[in-house]
Amino acid sequence: MYPFLHPDNAAKVSIRFIDIVNDPSTSSNFKQILSLCGFVIVTDVLSAEEIATAQEYWAKDLQCIMDIEASKDKILAASVYQDPVHTWPSKVPLGQPVEFGLAQGQLAWYIRRNSNIRHCFEIVHDTEHLCVGTDSIMFSREPPPKLRKSWGHVDYHRDLIHHECFQSIVYLMDTEEESSTTVVWPGSHLSHFDTVMEANAPRLFSTIPASMVPEYEANAVRLKIPKGAMVLWNSKLVHQGHNWGRRLAVPVCFEPSVLRTREVLQLKQELVENGMSGTHWAAIFHTHAKTRAKGNKPKELQRDVGPFRLHHRAHLHLLDESGFLKDDYAALL
Ligand SMILES: O=C(O)CCC(=O)C(=O)O
């Protein structure tokens, strides 16, 4: 179990969003922390009202995929429908990445369109011309039966990508002792990246070699991220998820649109139109192995998951009457 980053050190890597906006020296400090530590926590990127709205969108997304009448346990389904965010049963897994159109649901797009989050990436990339990624949603309520063994990795390969990439996760619930959260190895994007690359064939998910695991386990820390904050990191940083308990969070990545080709744009648009999830990349078309195995399309439009019947339809709010992606969403990709 990784310890939490000590509060004194957490304070050194945390910056309030408002200070980034109002104070040019904080904005350069933000970039400096990111460049030295490989990650930074931006607090209060969302207001209390925006957090509440985001949680409401997630409730609507979950309600939208439920079919109470066709569910084996109608009574449980009707009861969960009242407050799905806080009562969703762990015996109804939503998939990893989330299925049923949820990666393109109302919550995902509410967060992707938030101007404060976008602003942080504008600073990092030094441009306002950005395109957004299409990644999943992180939602869990209870610890799984077993904690996954450490899986420190970088989301990058130097033989495949030649620009810097930064990814983030926006937290919509506070991190507590028994929460799922992000684990990072501070500074490893500088100190260990080359060794990780040497150990991996070119792929965008590169795990650390076995020989590095003891050092990783001794130095990696869990991050305590308050709701409304985001952790932003360099994709070369060794990190992983600590999936152990409650979390509602949205991965967000913006990259300069100049790096995204027309072909990638088209593939991203089709993916979103089909309600599927990409990995974090915004300028590159890349999907999770499980999604690729399905040809990047939904396998079934409805499925019984435990006692619930669920439909693949949380993404339908994005489509016009002809079933095409609405222009204002397509333009952000
Ligand atoms: O679950 C997390 O916080 C980190 C997930 C992760 O490893 C990733 O997004 O690459």
Using the atom order of ligand 1, give the atom closest to the CA of residue 138.
1
The pLDDT assigned to 144 comes to 87
H or E, element range at 50: helix 48-65
307 preceded by cis ω (within 30°)?
no
* Number of domains present in the structure of the chain: 1
Q: What is the mean pLDDT of residues 31-37?
A: 97
> 203-252 pLDDT, tens per residue?
999 999 999 999 999 999 999 999 999 999 999 999 999 998 999 999 99
**CATH number, position 69:** 2.60.120
The pLDDT assigned to 89 comes to 96
Those residues with Cβ within 8 angstroms of residue 324's Cβ, 6 or more apart along the chain or in another chain: 273
- The answer on pLDDT for 172 being more than 90 is yes
Q: Is the CB of 286 under 6 A from ligand 1?
A: no
Q: Is 217 exposed, middle or buried (0-12, 13-18, 19+ CB in 10 A)?
A: middle
Q: Is the CB of 241 under 6 A from ligand 1?
A: yes
**Is 2 domain-assigned?**
no
Residue 305: how many CB atoms within 10 A of its CB?
18
From ligand 1's centre to the CA of 241, what distance in Å? 5
pTM of the predicted protein model: 0.97
Determine the 3-state secondary structure of 57 from DSSP: helix
Residue owning the nearest CA to atom 8 of ligand 1: 240
Q: Length of the chain, please?
A: 333
Q: CA nearest 272: which of 138, 169, 135? A: 135
Q: Is the CB of 240 under 6 A from ligand 1?
A: yes
Contact 182, 250 (CB under 8 A): no
**Is 241 domain-assigned?**
yes
Residue owning the nearest CA to atom 3 of ligand 1: 182
**Is 139 domain-assigned?**
yes
Q: Which two tokens stand for residue 32?
A: 């400096």
Using the atom order of ligand 1, give the atom closest to the CA of residue 167.
9
Q: CA nearest 234: which of 33, 45, 97, 46? A: 33
- The answer on pLDDT for 113 being more than 90 is yes
- The answer on pLDDT for 143 being more than 90 is no
- By residue range, what is the domain housing residue 17? 7-331
| Average pLDDT, rounded, for the chain | 97
Contact 35, 56 (CB under 8 A): no
**Is 64 domain-assigned?**
yes
The pLDDT assigned to 26 comes to 87
The pLDDT assigned to 136 comes to 97
Percent above pLDDT 90 for the chain: 95
From ligand 1's centre to the CA of 232, what distance in Å? 11
From ligand 1's centre to the CA of 327, what distance in Å? 30
Q: Range with the lowest mean pLDDT among 142-146, 232-236, 296-300?
A: 142-146
Q: What is the mean pLDDT of residues 177-200?
A: 97
The pLDDT assigned to 269 comes to 97
Those residues with Cβ within 8 angstroms of residue 325's Cβ, 6 or more apart along the chain or in another chain: 269, 272, 273, 318, 319
Q: From start to end of 144-299, where are the E strands? A: 153-154, 166-171, 181-184, 206-207, 221-222, 230-234, 239-242, 247-252, 254-256
Q: Which two tokens stand for residue 163?
A: 């620009």
Using the atom order of ligand 1, give the atom closest to the CA of residue 183.
3
**Is 1 domain-assigned?**
no
Q: What is the mean pLDDT of residues 80-101?
A: 97
**Is 170 domain-assigned?**
yes
Q: CA nearest 197: which of 183, 181, 213, 208? A: 208
Q: What is the mean pLDDT of residues 5-20?
A: 97
Q: CA nearest 41: which of 192, 204, 222? A: 222
As a whole number of angstroms, the distance between CA 219 and CA 185 comes to: 6
From ligand 1's centre to the CA of 323, what distance in Å? 32
The pLDDT assigned to 27 comes to 85
Q: CA nearest 92: which of 70, 69, 62, 57? A: 62
Ligand 1 pocket, mutate which of 136, 166, 169, 236 (most atoms under 8 A from CB): 169
Q: Is the CB of 242 under 6 A from ligand 1?
A: no
Residue owning tokens 């070369």: 236
Q: Is the CB of 155 under 6 A from ligand 1?
A: yes
Determine the 3-state secondary structure of 230 from DSSP: strand
Q: Is the CB of 271 under 6 A from ligand 1?
A: no
> 272-288 pLDDT, tens per residue?
999 999 999 999 999 99
> 44-63 pLDDT, tens per residue?
999 999 999 999 999 999 99
- The answer on pLDDT for 295 being more than 90 is yes
